[in-house]
Structure 1
Amino acid sequence: MARRDYDPATAPPDDRPAAKAKAFDTTGPRAWRGSLAGEAIGSANTILAYATDTVGEGPRLHVHPYDESFVVIMGHARFFVGDEVIEAAAGDVLLAPAGQPHRFENAGPGRLQTIDIHHSPRWIQTDLD
């Protein structure tokens, strides 16, 4: 079914050109990790790729002044957002609202791979532990 959510005449294209940059190296044997600041390509969002093969491993508890969305690409994760604990698996998308302390870990078995979307043109973070 074709989508027709808006009239393109009401939102003309802006003057930015299409852009491309590398966020992580896919040629090595390690899990994919890396980041790309949105400002590097004229975007309002910063993208991180995170992966680990170690169960229990993940980013430390931290907070951002903007929302962060997570897309679980592979494996199982346990997210801690504020007072909530959320189990997630490949295909799930989660939100850590601005100002909410959060972290996640590989719940296993196997590799955890996520794409983390920082709703900011640059990565701004305060680690809490």
Structure 2
Amino acid sequence: MVRRDFDPATVTPDGRPPAKARLFDGTMVGPYRGSVNGEALGAAVTVLTYGNDEPGFGPVLHVHPYDEVFVITQGRARFFVGDEVVDAEAGDTVLGPAGVPHRFVNLGPGRLQTIDIHHSPRWIQTNLE
């Protein structure tokens, strides 16, 4: 597929070098396996990885002052975003809009694994339960 979404001559590099940070350690226990603040990379997004093997289990209801995008890489999840319920599976992405309380649970069977992209250079969250 050929893409020509913009003219590269219209973008001036800002001088940042490439950066690298470790997102997770596969030997860690618990659902939160790691995160990388965008600040560590000089980027505008923060990335988390979350996973669990227990159907019905997931993060508590919480809210962020920015959008969060969830990428389901394994399993099935049910998201509660404001008054909406969204079922998603591996290969799907789900948006949690800024200021809208949200949570999700593993629908099973088996492992749920997500990559969560916070549209902020650092993770900012208020738990509501």
TM-score normalised by L of structure 2: 0.95
Does 1:11 pair with 2:4?
no
SS of equivalent residue, structure 1 residue 39: helix
Does 1:67 pair with 2:67?
yes
- Closer/same/farther in 2, CA of residues 43 and 61 from structure 1, 3 Å limit: same
Q: Which residue of 2 aligns with 1:45?
A: 45
Q: Which residue of 2 aligns with 1:85?
A: 85
CA distance in structure 2 between the aligned counterparts of 1:108 and 1:66, rounded to whole angstroms: 29
Identity of aligned residues (%): 66
CA distance in structure 1 between the aligned counterparts of 2:103 and 2:11, rounded to whole angstroms: 37
CA distance in structure 1 between the aligned counterparts of 2:63 and 2:47, rounded to whole angstroms: 16
Q: Deviations 1:28-83 (Å, cap 9, x if unpaired)?
A: 27577211101011010000000001111111000000000000000000000000
TM-score normalised by L of structure 1: 0.95
Offset at 1:95? 0.2
Structure 1: runs of 5 or more not aligned: none
Displacement over 3 Å in runs of 4+: 29-32
- Aligned-residue Cα RMSD (Å) equals 1.3
Number of residue pairs aligned between Structure 1 and Structure 2: 128
Query: Partner letter of residue 73 of structure 1?
Result: T
- Closer/same/farther in 2, CA of residues 42 and 29 from structure 1, 3 Å limit: closer
CA distance in structure 2 between the aligned counterparts of 1:58 and 1:103, rounded to whole angstroms: 7
Q: Which residue of 2 aligns with 1:76?
A: 76
